[in-house]
Chain A
Amino acid sequence: MNIYVLMKRTFDTEEKIVIENGCISDDGVNFIINPYDEFAIEEAIRLRDAHGGEVTVVTVGAEDAEKELRTALAMGCDRAVLINNEDVEDGDQWSTAEILAAYFKDKEFDVILGGNVSNDNGTGQIGPRLAEKLGIPHVSTIVKIEIDGDKATLERDAEGDIEIIEASLPLLVTAQQGLNEPRYPSLPGIMKAKKKPLEVLELDDLDLDEDDVSGRTETVEVFLPPEKGAGRILEGDPDTQARELVRLLRNEAKVI
């Protein structure tokens, strides 16, 4: 099976956000593989181990993302592709989907997996957009996938309910938490990853001009939420504390 995984490099979830000169600063920030993409990578490796074939992990981003691609290779992916988008103006989800669609244009694939959302921009657009551009079906937020021939049976998380879905390949799916428990790269895996192929592509290699993919939206401003002042700690025995809280929520905060 030809399996592809879409990966994004994102800030570690433990990072605080700092704004400098109107932009989010990445000074000293620790980067990780977007956690939802880790589920996708893990599932891709399991599908390959069960059905044979090859897993290619693809990212659209800056050259620094090579580090996260190596991690994906160390987990068990077979090859990696980095598509450099650093010169794209106002790059947004439309842009990324265009770039990915150009990459996949001449590829043969059975399954494309990705995270259902990234923990930075958090739009969840890329999977459904790419499937539409490629003319293939997609199922988002999956927590289970089984493949038998050219058919797939999936379980999809629909806001807490589970939908059991049948689909045909080729298929794009996006991973939801609960799909699996991603493995840590092993030491031999890390050693092997150094020798696995990692291809860096420029937009030119995809017959794209940076103007062709400049975003359809523009970010006018980035800002931090207002700081919350310290709250009030309620004193007294549990009974007093509980009564006081009920009174405050009703009469002061007026939320009940």
Chain B
Amino acid sequence: MARKTLVLAETRDGQLRHVSFEAIAAGRQIADGGEVVAVLCGDDVAGFADALGHYGADRVVVVENEALKYYTPDGYKQAWQRVIETEAPEAIVMGHTAVGKDLSAGLAARLDSALVSDVTAIETGNGDPLFIRPIYSGKAFEKKRVKEGLIFITIRPNNIPALEKDETRPTTVDRLDVPISGLRTVVKQVVKKSTGGVDLTEAKVIVSGGRGVKSADGFKPLKELADVLGGAVGASRGACDAGYCDYSLQIGQTGKVVTPDLYIACGISGAIQHLAGMSNSKVIVAINKDPDANIFNVADYGIVGDLFEIVPLLTKYFKEVLQEA
């Protein structure tokens, strides 16, 4: 059954987020031949419309308004409500990001609709699409179906592959003017704390440290390795509780749940609450002094040794092979 599908196109730091392309791919699966329309909201975003077409959007609706410079629930709900009234979609896909997670839930309530959050895979066949999503932070999974009405989902970054980029694909761009008013929450300032630019939930490579890192300084070699690999730095609860790093880096059942292509755990023992946050990563490397550490039970490759010796060597050799390539 063909379904007209809207997709949230999200920007961060002046760039389209890759999860937007993944959402288009998910949207095409659900649309089942129906039109896939990317929705781009912001203060100066029209320039991103073509790229959304290259990744599979049939059409792009651009809503530009100064009041949409920062995400606020009120502003974005107003913009989206107007787009939904104009487009009358049968499905909506957003990334399960700070914006998508928040907007989808508020919008679903406004539309009195179901919402399946944080989907990692979609099964389509004869019947309704089925959505697979982790529960208990990935210790188990559930398969869900929307009983009736609008199919509304958010997808976890890094799980549903984007379509191949095709720069010859034409895109139609429609502009929609939406008056935004009466914002009850106002963003006064944004303090950039995320360094290096690679977001933890979207990173392809994560180098993560635990209590074994021993101090805030101990994270330096991890950061150097992450930089060489174009990845992000994460941490276990132990490292955060010990004050070695900010809680925003915490990976685990409390904290972020991540699924990168490569997860390098350094000096992390592997408490079950940490494993819940990372054990669905594609390839896991563990470096730990203790050969009996639980982390080795989920690792594809393990090194029993001192992370302060091993990690700088990894940085050095990765640098070499990546320069050759």
Note whether A and B form a binding pair.
Answer: yes
Residue ID in chain A nearest B107 by CB atoms: A132
Q: Mark A210-249, 1 if CB is under 8 A from B, else 0.
A: 0000011111111111001011111000110111011011
Q: Which residues of chain A have C-beta atoms less than 8 A from B282's C-beta?
A: 255
- The answer to whether A125 and B136 have CB atoms under 8 Å apart is no
Q: Mark A180-206, 1 if CB is under 8 A from B, else 0.
A: 000000000000000000000000000
Residue ID in chain A nearest B201 by CB atoms: A159
Q: How far is the CA of A92 from the CA of B297 in the complex (A)?
A: 34
Q: Judge if A56 is at the interface, Cβ distance under 8 Å.
A: no
Known: A35-B254, A123-B118, A163-B70. A216 touches B262 (CB 8 A): no
- The answer to whether A163 and B140 have CB atoms under 8 Å apart is no
Q: Which residues of chain B have C-beta atoms less than 8 A from A250's C-beta?
A: 321
Known: A228-B279, A233-B303. A121 touches B135 (CB 8 A): yes
Known: A129-B108, A231-B296. A122 touches B135 (CB 8 A): yes
Q: Judge if A61 is at the interface, Cβ distance under 8 Å.
A: no
Of the four ranges (under 10, 10 to 19, 20 to 34, 35 or more), the interface on chain B belongs to 35 or more
- The answer to whether A160 and B200 have CB atoms under 8 Å apart is yes
Q: Judge if A157 is at the interface, Cβ distance under 8 Å.
A: yes
Of the four ranges (under 10, 10 to 19, 20 to 34, 35 or more), the interface on chain A belongs to 35 or more
A133 to chain B minimum Cβ distance, whole angstroms, is 5
A232 to chain B minimum Cβ distance, whole angstroms, is 6
- The answer to whether A245 and B141 have CB atoms under 8 Å apart is no
Q: Judge if A31 is at the interface, Cβ distance under 8 Å.
A: no
- The answer to whether A166 and B188 have CB atoms under 8 Å apart is yes
Which one, B41-49, B96-104, B158-166, B172-180, is touching chain A?
Answer: B96-104
B49 to chain A minimum Cβ distance, whole angstroms, is 24
- The answer to whether A24 and B140 have CB atoms under 8 Å apart is yes
Q: List 11 A-B contacts (CB under 8 A).
A: A14-B271, A129-B105, A159-B194, A159-B201, A216-B114, A225-B138, A230-B296, A234-B302, A245-B285, A248-B301, A253-B283
Known: A223-B143, A231-B302, A242-B313. 10 other contacts (CB 8 A): A93-B105, A94-B115, A122-B118, A123-B117, A160-B193, A168-B184, A178-B247, A220-B145, A222-B142, A245-B285
